[in-house]
């Protein structure tokens, strides 16, 4: 069972969602994965980060995207 939690505290990292017990933001994890870093590279660079922390960040991002908000994107001019 995945017991890693995503938490937000205005006193830590300006309230951005983080992996509980760390100062590692969900945003940082997503940016590094999107830039092509591997899970192994992330884990090596951030010793307090765990595989379950990465999975929790991805699950949090997916859950957030399910909300009823609209996220406009910039389309290239044709």
Residue 21 lies in a domain: yes
Residue 1 lies in a domain: no
User: How far is the C-alpha of 23 from the C-alpha of 19, rounded, in Å?
Assistant: 7
User: How far is the C-alpha of 71 from the C-alpha of 37, rounded, in Å?
Assistant: 25
Q: Residue 52: which CATH number?
A: 1.10.10.10
Q: Based on the structure, what is the number of domains in the chain?
A: 1
What are the Cα distances from residue 12, in Å, to 1, 15, 44? 26, 6, 23
Whole domain around residue 61: which residue ranges? Answer: 6-65
> pLDDT of 13-66, one tens digit each?
999 999 999 999 999 999 999 999 999 999 999 999 999 999 999 999 999 888
Q: What is the pLDDT of residue 4?
A: 80
Residue 76 lies in a domain: no
Residue 34 lies in a domain: yes
Q: Is the pLDDT of residue 73 over 70?
A: yes
pTM, two decimals, is 0.82
Q: Is the pLDDT of residue 12 over 50?
A: yes
Locate 12 and state its tokens. Answer: 């830590």
User: What does the DSSP 8-state code read for residue 19?
Assistant: E
């Amino acid at each position: 069972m995945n017991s890693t939690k995503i938490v937000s505290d205005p006193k830590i990292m300006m309230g951005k969602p983080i992996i509980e017990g760390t100062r590692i933001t969900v945003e940082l994890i997503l940016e590094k994965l999107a830039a092509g870093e591997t899970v192994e590279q992330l884990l090596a660079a951030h010793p307090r980060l765990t595989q379950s922390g990465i999975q929790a960040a991805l699950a949090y991002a997916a859950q957030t995207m399910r909300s009823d908000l609209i996220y406009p994107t910039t389309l290239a001019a044709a």
